[in-house]
Amino acid sequence: MDFYLGLIQIIGVHTLLGLSAYCVLLTGQVSLAQAGFFAIGAYVAGMLTVLLHWPLVLALIVSAILGGAMACAVGFPALRVKGLMLVVATAAFGEAVRLFFFNFTYQVQSGAILLGPHGGEGFRQIRYFPEHGWGTLDVVLFIWTIVVLVMAMLWWMDRSRVGAVLRAVGEDELAAQSTGINITAVKVSAMTIGGIIAGIGGGIFAHYTTHIEHIQFGIVLATFAIAYPILGGLSNVFGTLLAVIFIQGLLIEGLRFLGDWRNLLFGGLIVLAMNIRPRGLLDAGVLMTLKRLVSRNGERKGA
Amino acid sequence: MIDLVQNTIDGVMIGSSYGLLALGFTLIFGVMRRLNLSYGPSIMIGGYVGTVLYVQYGAGPLAVAGTMILGAAIAGIYVERLCFAPMRMGAGIASMVSSFAIWMQLEQAAILVLPRHTYPFPPLTTGAPLEWGPFLLRLDHLIMLGCALGLTAAIQFALYRTRFGLALRAIIGNPVAAHLVGINVSVAVMLAFAAASAIGGVAGFLVLSVDQQVTPMFGMWATLKGLIAMMIGGLGSIPGAILGGLLLGVVEAHCQWYFGPQIRDLAAYIVLFVFLLVHPGGLLGRAPGSDIAAPRTP
Amino acid sequence: MLDVTDLVTAYGKIEALKGVSLQVEGGKITCLLGPNGAGKTTLMMTIAGVLQPRRGSIRLKGAELAGLSPARIVSQGVALVPENRLVFPHMSVYENLLAGAYQRHDKAGVNADIERMYARFPQLHERSEQMAGTLSGGEQQMLAVARALMSQPRLLLMDEPSLGLAPLIVAEIFNIIAELNRDGTTIFLVEQNAHMALQVAHQFFLMEQGRITFKGTPGQLAEDEVIQRAYLGTRRAAG
């Protein structure tokens, strides 16, 4: 049972990570900086609860604000570049953040042990959940409340004028500009929202793993972050969730029985999925089919 | 002062291996306009094939170099067929995500073949460093620099003086028109990929024979160093790739000397980030954003 | 010379060609007219092999072209001058011509043909070392035609050669088309400029919404009617 609860936690946190890349991707930008914002959220939230004994929710709010502020700060200069240059610039930023934490030590004596981030050895003993008597189920509920809230917010944003504006910029920047949309504001906003979500996700991540280190936030995690929405499709937020379940649940956990051979198949299956559905698992066509099915059922019920 | 010069010399030498890595990257990016994250891992696979030959059969450095280059080229073709050939135009991110998945696959394959963390790799030369006044020059470093300059010249020649180069430049200019004049675009792109990975194989062999060991992490290292050097040098520019590599090497060498090895990598990323924002075209690149709807240069 | 039968080409679920049949006679200029979105460019790209048809056949003197790669189709003697010219912008005029002869291995013959192209298009000769992307629209069109001719085609396909060019240049391009035909090249031409096209064409087809709706010779239909149908299509013209 605990295994499945643990998996559900992982899926929740990775969904947040994927969604943070999702709203940036809507504007047509590919950012590999999300793992960096995620790392900032993780370290900041961990330090606040461990060293300053803040309540978790307050710490997460600060993580969100800092993640967003950092994304905004990166977003402005990064907008000067596009395409591959943006990918590489954001990857460089992400790696710089990782290496910063690799070299970052701030420890405080607490009883017999030292607490706080310790360079390459990482940041251990983030024991907020056990110390406050949270069971695994409580943690799962907490994580998914936040995931559902974020998804609902993004879903609503997608349906509103804001979503239309984001997608317009993603589709055709020049056309969007000619209709009076402020491209810079839109892109920086998307980046900031992405940073906020990644910051929250990182904060939660630090607390359920209890131990974080720089290597977890490398380019691999950054690529996972954009792989989710790309694999899931950019039609709506559920594509990202579907892709996280597909990768984390089916491919990584489901294929665990294959042992060392897992990654061989893992890579192959992702490539296969991208070949068959280059626009994502949940693209416009699938959505139409789903809608038709739902409405047909509705008619039958009505009749 | 002597330290400053010696560091610069070391930087140039190490930088020439970065430049070689960037050379292969530039070729792939120039032809495909897409990012191949599996570039380094393909080279790493070549390195593993080479080290098997060395550990199990005691092969000499030249035989190891040959198999490594061949292995990298074959791995490159594998990546191209899976991640790039089937993806339609406009699906560049899908290609990138796929190449990331193949990266994990190749890394796992390497671990399956040789499960220990590191394996020995044959050194190219064991001679004492040359002395030049107060400065020291390692022979294998000199070979590295020579290979970098020689391959740059060879690629320039191939691109501008051969039929295959004409085909590649035509594809770079306009893929549809390249089809229409009768170029077999699919085969040409595959060969370009193989050539790029082979160049990466040369770079990888030189680096590994200096390190005298190979690990699965070498793949990621090669992708990142090649990518950074290519971006600093300027997208799509062959001489730029070498120049970017040299600059990166020199910056890293000085940072290592003054601030230690951990700051060295951090400095490389910060230099790149700032460089991209201040001067997106790189040292010798075309106009910024030239990978998207570049205006025809007047 | 060219026999297209019941050709269907689709983008996903949308059929752009819904069963096109037409014939191009050897030694003549055949013209295809029709409104935007009728499927004319799709037809040209399908014949050239860039797009693969879903059904139907394309025969060149009896030999099937459907399903072949673009490279094989060029080697069969079909060359397309594409819409918007698509010259190789960062290659010199000379290199563009060389690329046009990519499948030929007779170096002497290729060089002689390049000289012939320079003789026919003196502007290209003057600018032989200039990057193609820096040429004017009309010069680029001439380069595109010359590049296609470098493969020694039996059938020359041209997609909207007058697009975006000034009237004087358009007249020059049509002079060249007529001249090429007099020298023995079979030409199949897609045009928006019905007036110019009807002056040079021996026969023409009208295409609307992925189907051929009329086949005839220029005298057969009043020019006004042709123009109306070519620009607007029958449906809207009737309404």
Q: What is the CATH number of the domain that holds C30?
A: 3.40.50.300
Contacts of B292 in chain A (CB under 8 A): 82-83
Residue C233 lies in a domain: yes
> Which one-letter amino acid corresponds to residue B218?
F
Contact C103 B163 (CB under 8 A): no
* Pairing, β C155-159 against β C78-81: parallel
Question: Could you give the 3-state DSSP secondary structure of residue B196?
Answer: helix
First to last CA, chain A: 43
Is residue B189 within 8 A of residue B84, CB to CB? The reply is yes
Residue C133 lies in a domain: no
Q: State yes or no: pLDDT of A80 exceeds 50.
A: yes
How far is Cα C181 from Cα C27, in angstroms, rounded to an integer? 7
Residue C69 lies in a domain: yes
Length of chain B: 298
Contact B170 C88 (CB under 8 A): yes
Q: Where are the alpha helices (DSSP H) in C69-106?
A: 70-75, 93-100
CA C10 to chain centre: 20
Report the residue of B84, B273, B290, B292 to disrupt the A interface, i.e. the one with the largest count of A CBs within 10 Å: B273
The CATH number of whichever domain residue A27 belongs to comes to: 1.10.3470
Report the residue of A27, A74, A95, A262 to disrupt the B interface, i.e. the one with the largest count of B CBs within 10 Å: A95
CATH architecture of B2-278: Orthogonal Bundle (1.10)
At A297 the pLDDT is 63
Count the alpha carbons within 13 Å of B68 in the hemisphere toward its beta carbon: 32
Question: Could you give the 3-state DSSP secondary structure of residue B158?
Answer: helix
Quick one: which of A254, C54, A87, C159 has its CA closest to B34? A87
Smallest CA–CA distance from B270 into chain A, residue: A96
CB-nearest partner of C102 from B167, B297, B298:
B167
Query: Which secondary structure element, helix H or strand E, spans residue C42, and what is its range?
Result: helix C40-48
How far is Cα B191 from Cα B164, in angstroms, rounded to an integer? 9
Give the Å distances, CA to CA, from B71 to A177, A222, B5, B199: 48, 28, 37, 12
Residue C215 lies in a domain: yes
Instruction: Among A81-85, A269-273, C156-160, name the most confident range.
Output: C156-160
Contact C91 B173 (CB under 8 A): yes
How far is Cα C237 from Cα C228, in angstroms, rounded to an integer? 7
Report the residue of A32, A85, A223, A252 to disrupt the B interface, i.e. the one with the largest count of B CBs within 10 Å: A85
Quick one: which of C195, C201, C188, C190 has its CA closest to C225? C195
Residue C100 lies in a domain: no
Give the Å distances, CA to CA, from A175 to A182, B89, B228, B253, C194: 11, 21, 33, 46, 32
C8 bridge partner residues: C18, C55
Quick one: which of C64, C68, C56, C40 has its CA closest to C7? C56
Q: Does A80 touch chain B (CB under 8 A)?
A: yes
Query: Which secondary structure element, helix H or strand E, spans residue B79, and what is its range?
Result: helix B61-79
Query: Residue C60: what are its φ and ψ, rounded to 5°?
Result: -110, 110
Of the listed ranges A113-122, B287-296, C167-176, C214-223, the one predicted with least confidence: B287-296
Q: Does C79 touch chain B (CB under 8 A)?
A: yes
| Higher-scoring residue by pLDDT: A68, B281 | A68
C20 bridge partner residues: C7
At A77 the pLDDT is 78
Neighbours of A2 (CB within 10 A): 8
Residue C141 lies in a domain: no
pLDDT tens-place string over residues B171-184: 988 999 999 999 99
Is residue A190 within 8 A of residue A29, CB to CB? The reply is yes
Structural domain boundaries, residue C43: 2-85+153-238
ipTM above 0.95 for this complex? no
Question: Could you give the 3-state DSSP secondary structure of residue C162?
Answer: coil
pLDDT tens for chain C, 239 residues: list them.
999 999 999 987 788 999 999 999 999 999 999 888 889 999 999 999 999 999 999 999 999 999 999 999 999 999 999 999 999 999 999 999 999 999 999 999 999 999 999 999 999 999 999 999 999 999 999 999 999 999 999 999 999 999 889 999 999 999 999 999 999 999 999 988 888 888 899 999 999 889 998 898 888 877 777 777 777 666 544 43
Residue C131 lies in a domain: no
Domain count, chain C: 1
Structural domain boundaries, residue A59: 2-302
Average the pLDDT over B47-58 and give the result: 92
pLDDT tens-place string over residues B229-273: 998 888 878 889 999 999 999 999 999 888 888 788 888 888 888
Q: For chain A, give the DSSP string.
A: -HHHHHHHHHHHHHHHHHHHHHHHHHTT---S-HHHHHHHHHHHHHHHHHHS---HHHHHHHHHHHHHHHHHHHHHHHTT--HHHHHHHHHHHHHHHHHHHHT-B--EEETTEEES-BGGGBB----HHHHTT--HHHHHHHHHHHHHHHHHHHHHHHHSHHHHHHHHHHH-HHHHHHTT--HHHHHHHHHHHHHHHHHHHHHHHHHHHS-B-GGGGSHHHHHHHHHHHHHH-SSSHHHHHHHHIIIIIIIIITTGGGGGGHHHHHHHHHHHHHHH-TT-TT-HHHHHHHHHHHHHHHHHHH-
Residue B89 — pLDDT band, cuts 50, 70, 90?
low
Contact A227 B87 (CB under 8 A): no
Q: Does B35 touch chain A (CB under 8 A)?
A: yes
Neighbours of A87 (CB within 10 A): 26
> Which one-letter amino acid corresponds to residue C136?
S
How far is Cα C163 from Cα C170, in angstroms, rounded to an integer? 8
Which one-letter DSSP state was computed for residue C81?
A: E
Quick one: which of C124, C126, C132 has its CA closest to C92? C132
Chain B: list its partners (3+ Cβ pairs within 8 Å): A, C
Q: State yes or no: pLDDT of A82 exceeds 80.
A: no
Contact B87 A83 (CB under 8 A): no
- Residues above pLDDT 90, as percent of chain A: 41
Enter the tokens of residue A58: 């307050």
Chain A: list its partners (3+ Cβ pairs within 8 Å): B
Length of chain C: 239
pLDDT tens-place string over residues B136-166: 888 888 999 999 999 999 999 999 999 999 9
Domain count, chain A: 1
Quick one: which of B93, B36, B78, B118 has its CA closest to A264? B78
